Amino acid sequence: MSLIKLSQSALNANIKEISKKAPIEKIYAVLKDNAYGHGLLEFGAMCVKGGIQNAIVRDKSEALRLYATFKNVLCLAELREFDAYENIHFAVNSF
């Protein structure tokens, strides 16, 4: 059995390094597919605690679970019907 240990201090150290290259408000946490199996809400909360304001997710269901947590959420999946949300943005994958 595998064990994944999430570390706020390790995440904060990574955010600090990344923010040397880009302002914190321009950094997005990629949380698609349940944060790569680490827990969408759990890891999302850790990212917010570390100062991250934006997230990227795979689909609308993940976006809806995080829209109240992040300033901006970018959804990568193709959208079949248009929905408007103030802080959820949808990628245009094809015309």
| CA-based end-to-end distance of the chain | 44
Predicted confidence (pLDDT) per residue in 24-73, tens digit: 999 999 999 999 999 999 999 999 999 999 999 999 899 999 999 999 99
Backbone φ and ψ for 35, nearest 5 degrees, come out as 55, 45
Q: Hunting for tokens 């390790």 — which residue is that?
A: 10
Distances (CA, A) of 7 to 13, 58, 79: 10, 24, 34
> Positive or negative CA dihedral for 86, 26, 59, 36?
negative
Q: Are 60 and 51 in contact (CB under 8 A)?
A: no
Mean predicted confidence (pLDDT) in 73-84: 78
pLDDT at 5 exceeding the cut of 90:
no
Give yes or no for residue 17 having a pLDDT over 80. Answer: yes
